[in-house]
Amino acid sequence: MSKHSQIHPYGTWIAAYPSIESLVLLKKLQLDLKIPNPVNNLHCTIMSSRIPVLDAMNINQNTQSSICADVKWLEIWRKGRYNNLVIVLKSDQLVKLNKTFVNNFSVDVIEKFIPHITLSYDAGEISLPNLEKMQMIFNSVKAAPI
């Protein structure tokens, strides 16, 4: 069967989901910073493809070992007229997963992969404080159609 399918005509994405403990830290950060329009489904996108990838749809699992990421800083990423507020992460494990999925599923990558978690898709004008040193733990990886 082809790696590409018309079952999901808009594409496929794969994401890592934080552990309960990390999710609590992220939600607390959203509240403490009074972030406008907070994201509810917090995750780190590992791969996003505009090409549907049927083989990737089988990925829906708890990781055998935790994926760790160090929090680096907050950043605003301008997307059209919106200011997306993200936490930039440092994680060799997430970078390796991205390369593995991109290679295994033969998808083109338009942008350089930067591990991150989006806290708001429309943060408006917000001041960015320095963050305390913290680590995010991810314990599941799932694929979904776009």
pLDDT in tens, 8-46: 567 788 899 999 999 999 999 999 989 999 999 999 999
The pLDDT value recorded for residue 6 is 45
Give the tokens for residue 48.
């996003």
18 and 62 in contact (C-beta within 8 Å)? no
The rounded distance, in Å, linking the Cα atoms of 137 and 134 is 10
The pLDDT value recorded for residue 3 is 45
Strand 60-79 versus strand 135-145 pairing type: antiparallel
Specify the pTM: 0.85
The pLDDT value recorded for residue 29 is 93
Q: Which architecture does CATH list for 12-145?
A: Alpha-Beta Complex (3.90)
The pLDDT value recorded for residue 1 is 37
The mean pLDDT values, 10 residues at a time, for the chain of 146 residues are 50 90 95 92 88 66 80 93 94 92 71 91 88 92 82
Domain coordinates in residue numbering, the chain? 12-145
| CA 76 vs CA 124, 125, 126, 131: distances in Å | 9, 9, 9, 14
The pLDDT value recorded for residue 106 is 67
The pLDDT value recorded for residue 108 is 63
The pLDDT value recorded for residue 112 is 83
The DSSP annotation for 38-59 comes to B-SS--EEEEEESS-BGGGGG-
* Secondary structure (3-state) at 13: strand
Residue 123 phi/psi, 5-degree rounding, is -85, -10
CA distance from start to end of the chain? 21
